[in-house]
Structure 1
């Protein structure tokens, strides 16, 4: 039991990120589906719509429950949000390239390629969030 507690503590960030990353992916998939299937917005605009709502959800959950941000003054929070958005923009570009490749070049299903790109984006987002955006400051 002690070994399990040690492992849970050691991998707490990854475990929580997996949970909230999964929820973020669900936000992305649901909002993409709503925009693409219900509102009949084209696939690229639906992708951007889903990306926006995913990053809002991800920032709030990552800041609070995953990485326990210590940024509390205005400028620190602004800097953190800027880094978060910059990292998310970079991974969104990666996701869009993967999505574009599957949907527009290979002519395959947009829903499936949206899920595929999400896997790559979530892993990239974890690395950038842990090592750059929410990196613990030495005191």
Structure 2
């Protein structure tokens, strides 16, 4: 059931990411690095809440435990941001793919990496 809920909220997080990215790219005419960064921030905030509460059912006993968990989440999402940005760069600047194709490809990589980061390194100690 955990994988199913992760995939559901992963799709929802990806939607947040796509919506913010294309809003920034198409409507605000932001360059892809800024648009991708803003979409990453929005999706990380969304993912932290949904992963903590509904996917991994993590309960923080203290404020310090919550802060540590949030810091680990942000750190590992930062690593996936580097995967995302490097993949976007290669797709857009080297392979010359469309924004949509690049974003779709990078999000598949990011969702897989984030599941393992979350399962093994972030939400593994605070289940009740």
Normalised by the length of structure 2, the TM-score is 0.95
Partner of 1:66: 55
Q: 1:77 to 1:37 in 2, by over 3 A?
A: same
Aligned residues: 128
**In the alignment, what sits opposite 1:21?**
10
Query: If you compute each CA radius of gyration, which structure gives the higher value, 1 or 2?
Result: 1
Which one of 69, 77, 81 corresponds to residue 92 of structure 1? 81
Work out which structure has the larger RCO, using CA pairs closer than 8 Å and 6 or more positions apart in sequence.
2
C-alpha deviations, 1:63-110, integer Å up to 9, x for none?
100001121311000000000000000011011111100101122212
Change (3 A) 1:138 1:43: closer
The 2-side partners of 1:126 and 1:95 are apart by 15
Name the SS of the counterpart of 2:46 in structure 1: helix
| Cross-structure match for 1:33 | 22
Coordinate RMSD, CA, aligned: 1.4
Unpaired stretches in structure 2, ≥5 consecutive residues:
none
Structure 1 unaligned regions, length at least 5:
1-11
Deviation beyond 2 Å, 4+ runs, structure 1: 136-139
